[in-house]
Amino acid sequence: MSESMANVIGSGVDALRSWVAQCNAAGGVPIIRTKYGGRPLPNSAVIVACWGHGSEVKGGEVTNIPPDVLQRLSMTKDKYKIIESM
């Protein structure tokens, strides 16, 4: 049984890319977490938050991120830049 850690706001790389664009457009800094408590999230998910503009761009969970994308995200500091370049 898989459980959601947060409010699910989308699914797949396109949803994540769209969310990053919304956060950037609002003037925020996209924060993407690939793990919670040191463990990967269920449902191949990431947790997102828009630092500085969270009241305008709600954060939550984006599910069904492909394993290769999750791996790339987990290996870099500026995760949102990977999504912008895809």
Q: How far is the C-alpha of 9 from the C-alpha of 61, rounded, in Å?
A: 6
Residue 85 is predicted with a pLDDT of 66
Residue 76 is predicted with a pLDDT of 75
Q: How far is the C-alpha of 32 from the C-alpha of 20, rounded, in Å?
A: 9
Burial (CB < 10 A; 0-12, 13-18, 19+), residue 61, is: buried
**Run means of pLDDT, 10 residues per run, the chain, 86 residues:** 69 96 94 91 94 91 95 77 66
What's phi and psi for 80, nearest 5 deg?
-65, -25
Residue 55 is predicted with a pLDDT of 87
Q: How far is CA 82 from the centre of its chain?
A: 11
